[in-house]
């Protein structure tokens, strides 16, 4: 007998009709069992032979899933109606098995709901998949529930869930890879404590995953990110070289075996190119980084980090329109992301769209009034892009002083703090000159012109501070590259 292996879900990607239950009774016999082309009986995670009817519906659902995923040049065309429709096909497949014991079908039902962010229905389907599996142990569904925990900020609980999935199934590549992602991310510099034991365990988990599936793109991506992290700030680190090799190998594997990779695994090819772009940045290959971020955003229109990084690189080249498009997509994907609004504001400002830029900065400030970035960029906007009168420079100084207070001694803002102080000094001189010129005009006879020395100096032109203090910097993906 051959075990059924067609599930669509995968690492940290949360890939209708009513809920659980299945047809009571019924028996799958050799006469009505589904078989491979070679005549082997298909067996599911419940330990049952799969009925020909259930398998037919499963294949129909899988084809519909792939069709919606590949539409619009792999951007997908999922809407609530199509999510419900595909989920319903997989439910029909599950109910065609005795007692609904078809874990893979329930799992794919969950993935269909997830495509439309129908979280509650997806979670219910995942739990149904676990109950349907032999011994109530189903790696992929358990790992996916861990993904939900991680995305809700329950990091320790997610790690426990992934490790439990590994204990239940020693071949759970999803569990190994997700656990490695948690351990790597929580020890990233500036994020958490430096725990060598965690790094050792992360490497072990990645190796365990690749030992079981050496084409598992998500595990290869985690390995490249781990090497990148270990390289630190050394652009000549051997670890950077190794990270680049891993990305190159992963891209080649994806190209050579595209038709053999599960759809969810194929989406992680975009993550490989995003990671490759981060490696390029570290080694000073900016043009290559730009191309890799562009490739990533093309391969997966829902990869938030790729759009953020592509927008940031374009800002550095004053490619404001390309940057605006990228950041606008990032905002669409994560409407409450502070850095995305800051980046979009900078791109709009570069295009001369001052009021829309102002709105983006204010949106960021509303999201987090304690972060300094919005205050800095608002200060620049009032200083250089309004009417350049005394109230504008006064407002700019007020905002820049607020930036200094909020930035404090945070090393992240060292350069911008220096620039802000210079801007405040220049603005103060400009205010004094404008006020002196106004007083002179008020006391001069009609038609008289002020002496040349009273002409207000031009406001300081922002240097590096014209870009977000931190928001536009390329970022390392969070665990699982949440989309």
Q: Name the nearest CA neighbour of 391 among 352, 332, 434.
A: 434
Q: Is pLDDT above 70 for 345?
A: yes
* pLDDT bucket at 35, cuts 50 / 70 / 90: confident
φ, ψ for residue 51 (rounded to 5)? -70, 155
Q: Name the nearest CA neighbour of 400 among 423, 384, 434.
A: 423
Count CB atoms within 10 A of the CB of residue 404: 18
Digit-coded pLDDT (tens) for 151-161: 898 999 999 99
Instruction: Give the three-state DSSP class for 167.
Output: helix
Look-up of token digits 């665990």: 479
Q: Which residues are within 8 A (CB) of 8 and not within 5 positions of it... i.e. 6 or more apart?
A: 15, 62, 65, 107, 108, 111, 262, 263, 264
Q: Is pLDDT above 90 for 92?
A: yes
- DSSP per-residue letters across 229-279: HHHTT-TT-HHHHHHHHHHHHHHHHHHHTGGGS-HHHHHHHHHHHHHHHHH
- Which of 298-312, 397-411, 463-477 is least confident? 463-477
Instruction: Give the three-state DSSP class for 49.
Output: strand
54 domain-assigned:
yes
Distance CA 149, CA 141 (A): 13
Percent of the chain residues topping a pLDDT of 90: 65
Q: Is pLDDT above 80 for 462?
A: no
204 domain-assigned:
no
DSSP 8-state symbol, 186: H
- DSSP per-residue letters across 29-46: -TTTB-B-TTSPBEE-TT
φ, ψ for residue 41 (rounded to 5)? -75, 135
Distance CA 431, CA 329 (A): 39
Number of domains in the chain: 2
For residues 364 and 380, the answer to whether their CB atoms sit within 8 Å is no
* pLDDT bucket at 190, cuts 50 / 70 / 90: low
Residue that is last in its domain, among 136, 158, 181: 136
295 domain-assigned:
no
Q: Which pLDDT belongs to residue 256?
A: 85
Residue that is last in its domain, among 136, 167, 183: 136
Helix axes 286-299, 263-282, angle to 10 degrees: 160
241 domain-assigned:
no
- Which of 21-35, 45-59, 130-144 is least confident? 21-35
Distance CA 232, CA 226 (A): 10
Count CB atoms within 10 A of the CB of residue 163: 19
Q: Is pLDDT above 80 for 420?
A: yes
Distance CA 184, CA 450 (A): 65
For residues 364 and 331, the answer to whether their CB atoms sit within 8 Å is no
* pLDDT bucket at 191, cuts 50 / 70 / 90: low
Distance CA 152, CA 235 (A): 34
85 domain-assigned:
yes
Instruction: Give the three-state DSSP class for 24.
Output: coil
306 domain-assigned:
no
- The CATH number for 461's domain is 1.25.40.10
Q: Which pLDDT belongs to residue 48?
A: 84
- The CATH number for 112's domain is 1.25.40
Q: Name the nearest CA neighbour of 272 among 245, 237, 238.
A: 245
Overall average pLDDT of the 256-271 stretch: 79
φ, ψ for residue 337 (rounded to 5)? -90, 115
pTM of the model: 0.78
- DSSP per-residue letters across 357-409: HHHHHHHHHHH-TT-SHHHHHHHHHHHHSS--SHHHHHHHHHHHHHHHHHHTT
Distance CA 421, CA 414 (A): 11
- Torsion from C-alpha of 404, 408, 411, 413, nearest 10 degrees: -20
**Residue 477 in tokens:** 């993906």
Scored b (16 or more CB within 10 A) or e, 353-381 reads beeebbebbebbbebeeebbbbbbbbbbb
Q: Which pLDDT belongs to residue 400?
A: 96
* pLDDT bucket at 397, cuts 50 / 70 / 90: very high
Determine the length of the chain: 483
Q: Round to the nearest angstrom and report the end-to-end CA distance of the chain.
A: 38
- Which of 191-195, 203-207, 228-232, 378-382 is least confident? 191-195
Q: Which residues are within 8 A (CB) of 66 and not within 5 positions of it... i.e. 6 or more apart?
A: 263
Q: Is pLDDT above 50 for 23?
A: no
Q: Which pLDDT belongs to residue 21?
A: 37
Q: Is pLDDT above 90 for 30?
A: no
Domain span including residue 414: 322-439+454-483
Q: Is pLDDT above 50 for 463?
A: no
Q: Is pLDDT above 90 for 12?
A: no
Q: Is pLDDT above 90 for 404?
A: yes
Helix axes 304-316, 338-350, angle to 10 degrees: 30
Q: Name the nearest CA neighbour of 27 among 5, 47, 50, 4.
A: 50
For residues 216 and 265, the answer to whether their CB atoms sit within 8 Å is yes
Q: Is pLDDT above 80 for 350?
A: yes
Distance CA 353, CA 333 (A): 22
66 domain-assigned:
yes
Overall average pLDDT of the 171-184 stretch: 95
Overall average pLDDT of the 142-154 stretch: 93
Report the chain's mean pLDDT, rounded to a whole number: 84
Residue that is last in its domain, among 81, 110, 136: 136
Q: Which pLDDT belongs to residue 36?
A: 83
Higher confidence at residue 124 or residue 48? 124
Q: Is pLDDT above 50 for 475?
A: no
Distance CA 152, CA 211 (A): 30
158 domain-assigned:
no
Distance CA 173, CA 162 (A): 10
Digit-coded pLDDT (tens) for 62-90: 999 989 988 887 678 899 999 999 999 99
Distance CA 133, CA 102 (A): 7
Q: Which pLDDT belongs to residue 448?
A: 53
Higher confidence at residue 100 or residue 192? 100
Q: Which pLDDT belongs to residue 455?
A: 38
Overall average pLDDT of the 344-362 stretch: 96
Q: Name the nearest CA neighbour of 474 among 245, 226, 294, 215.
A: 294
Distance CA 477, CA 482 (A): 8
């Amino acid at each position: 007998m051959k075990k059924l292996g067609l599930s669509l879900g995968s690492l940290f990607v949360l890939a209708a009709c009513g809920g659980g239950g299945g047809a009571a009774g019924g028996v799958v016999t050799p006469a009505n069992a589904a078989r491979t082309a070679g005549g082997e009986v298909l067996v599911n995670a419940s330990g049952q032979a799969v009925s020909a009817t259930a398998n037919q519906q499963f294949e129909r659902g899988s084809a519909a899933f792939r069709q919606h995923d590949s539409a619009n040049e792999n951007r997908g065309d999922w809407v609530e109606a199509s999510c419900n429709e595909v989920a319903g096909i997989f439910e029909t497949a599950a109910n065609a098995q005795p007692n609904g014991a078809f874990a893979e079908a329930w799992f794919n039902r969950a993935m269909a709901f997830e495509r439309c962010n129908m979280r509650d229905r997806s979670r219910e389907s995942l739990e149904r998949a676990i109950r349907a599996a032999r011994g109530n142990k189903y790696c992929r569904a358990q790992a996916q529930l861990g993904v939900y925990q991680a995305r809700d900020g329950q990091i320790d609980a997610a790690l426990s869930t992934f490790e439990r999935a590994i204990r239940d199934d020693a071949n759970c590549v999803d569990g190994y890879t997700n656990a490695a992602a948690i351990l790597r991310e929580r020890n990233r510099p500036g994020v958490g404590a430096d725990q060598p034991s965690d790094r050792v365990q992360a490497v072990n988990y990645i190796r365990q995953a690749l030992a079981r599936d050496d084409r598992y793109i998500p595990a290869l991506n985690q390995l490249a990110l781990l090497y990148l992290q270990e390289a630190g700030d050394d652009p000549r680190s051997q670890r950077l070289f190794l990270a680049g090799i891993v990305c190159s190998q992963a891209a080649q594997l994806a190209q050579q075996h595209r038709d053999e990779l599960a759809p969810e695994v194929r989406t992680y090819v975009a993550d490989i190119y995003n990671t490759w772009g981060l490696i390029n940045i570290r080694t000073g290959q900016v043009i290559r980084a730009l191309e890799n971020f562009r490739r990533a955003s093309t391969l997966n229109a829902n990869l938030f980090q790729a759009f953020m990084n592509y927008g940031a690189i374009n800002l550095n080249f004053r490619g404001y329109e390309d940057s605006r498009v990228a950041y606008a997509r990032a905002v669409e994907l994560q409407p409450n992301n502070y850095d995305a609004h800051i980046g979009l504001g900078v791109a709009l400002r570069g295009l001369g769209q001052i009021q829309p830029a102002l709105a983006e900065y204010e949106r960021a400030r509303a999201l987090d009034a304690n972060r300094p970035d919005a205050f800095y960029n608002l200060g620049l906007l009032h200083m250089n892009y309004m009417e350049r009168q005394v109230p504008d420079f006064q407002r700019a100084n007020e905002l820049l002083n607020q930036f200094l207070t909020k930035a404090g001694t945070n090393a992240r803002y060292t350069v911008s703090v220096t620039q802000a102080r210079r801007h405040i000094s220049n603005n103060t001189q400009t205010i004094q000159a404008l006020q002196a010129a106004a007083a002179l005009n008020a006391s001069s006879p009609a038609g008289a012109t002020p002496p040349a020395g009273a002409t207000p100096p031009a406001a300081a032109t922002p240097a590096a501070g014209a870009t977000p203090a931190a928001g536009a910097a390329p970022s390392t993906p969070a665990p699982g590259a949440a989309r």
